């Protein structure tokens, strides 16, 4: 049973990696990519466990499923996501925490998937000035710096910005 779970996990990861390295537009959604990756992982695992007797069917699977992929509807080019989180604080208090983030102490950091995968944790964010055109320097561990240029500024209501990653943070 542990082998099957391991094959599912490996298939899932291989499916995601294959999707990431495949050039051009993808006609298959993330869920279908995951399903095919898991099926491939399980079939590959069973083939490895049982020897080469099932290898021919496992090798032909992409040729059987490939034509079906072309019949799937292509996803829209862009999707807009809106998120709303109720916060028990005044707009002024929330605004102050959003526009500038004071240095985050290690005890304030909570374990998260992105940090376990090796992504650096946020450290602080400082705004050059208020208003559209301002630049917020978002600093992360290991010298990672994101420059966030403000594109929409309505105090205590809305903050939008573009993000550009740079190499290392300067002091």
| Lowest-pLDDT choice from 55-64, 88-97, 114-123 | 55-64
- Mention every residue, 6+ apart, whose C-beta is less than 8 A from residue 132: 150, 151, 152, 153
State pLDDT tens for residues 36-53: 777 777 766 666 656 555
Which element (helix H / strand E) includes 34? helix 30-50
**Total domain count for the chain?**
2
Most confident range (mean pLDDT) of 3-12, 27-36, 88-97 is 88-97
CA separation, residue 113 to residues 5, 21, 119 (Å): 20, 22, 9
State the Cα–Cα distance between residues 58 and 144, nearest whole angstrom: 43
In a domain, 109, yes or no: yes
In a domain, 84, yes or no: no
State pLDDT tens for residues 23-37: 556 666 767 777 777
Q: Are residues 113 and 51 in the same domain?
A: no
Please provide the average confidence, as pLDDT, over all residues in the chain: 78
Mean pLDDT value of segment 118-127: 88
DSSP 36-57: HHHHHHHHHHHHHHH-GGGHHH
Assess whether pLDDT exceeds 80 at residue 120: yes
State the Cα–Cα distance between residues 159 and 171, nearest whole angstrom: 25
- Mention every residue, 6+ apart, whose C-beta is less than 8 A from residue 87: 94
Most confident range (mean pLDDT) of 10-19, 40-49, 113-122, 161-170 is 113-122
Query: Which of 104, 105, 161 is CA-nearest to residue 134?
Result: 161
Q: Are residues 52 and 11 in the same domain?
A: yes
Q: What pLDDT is recorded for position 171?
A: 47
User: Which residues constitute the domain of residue 17?
Assistant: 2-71
pTM over 0.85: no
Q: Are residues 101 and 46 in the same domain?
A: no
Q: What pLDDT is recorded for position 54?
A: 55
| Lowest-pLDDT choice from 18-32, 109-123, 135-149 | 18-32
Assess whether pLDDT exceeds 80 at residue 135: yes
Q: Are residues 103 and 155 in the same domain?
A: yes
Q: Are residues 10 and 38 in the same domain?
A: yes
């Amino acid at each position: 049973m542990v082998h099957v779970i391991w094959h599912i996990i490996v298939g899932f990861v291989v499916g995601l990696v294959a999707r990431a390295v495949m050039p051009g537009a993808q006609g298959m959604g993330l869920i279908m990519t995951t399903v095919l990756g898991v099926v491939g992982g399980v079939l590959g695992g069973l083939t490895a466990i049982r020897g080469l007797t099932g290898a021919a069917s496992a090798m032909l699977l992409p040729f059987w499923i490939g034509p079906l992929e072309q019949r799937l509807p292509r996803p829209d080019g862009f999707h807009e996501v809106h998120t709303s989180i109720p916060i028990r604080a005044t707009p002024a208090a929330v605004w102050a925490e959003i526009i500038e983030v004071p240095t985050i102490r290690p005890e304030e950091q909570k374990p998260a998937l992105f940090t376990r995968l090796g992504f650096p944790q946020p450290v602080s964010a400082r705004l050059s000035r208020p208003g559209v055109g301002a630049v917020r320097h978002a600093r992360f561990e290991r010298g990672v710096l994101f420059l966030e240029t403000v594109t929409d500024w309505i105090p205590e209501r809305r903050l939008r910005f573009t993000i550009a990653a740079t190499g290392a943070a300067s002091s």
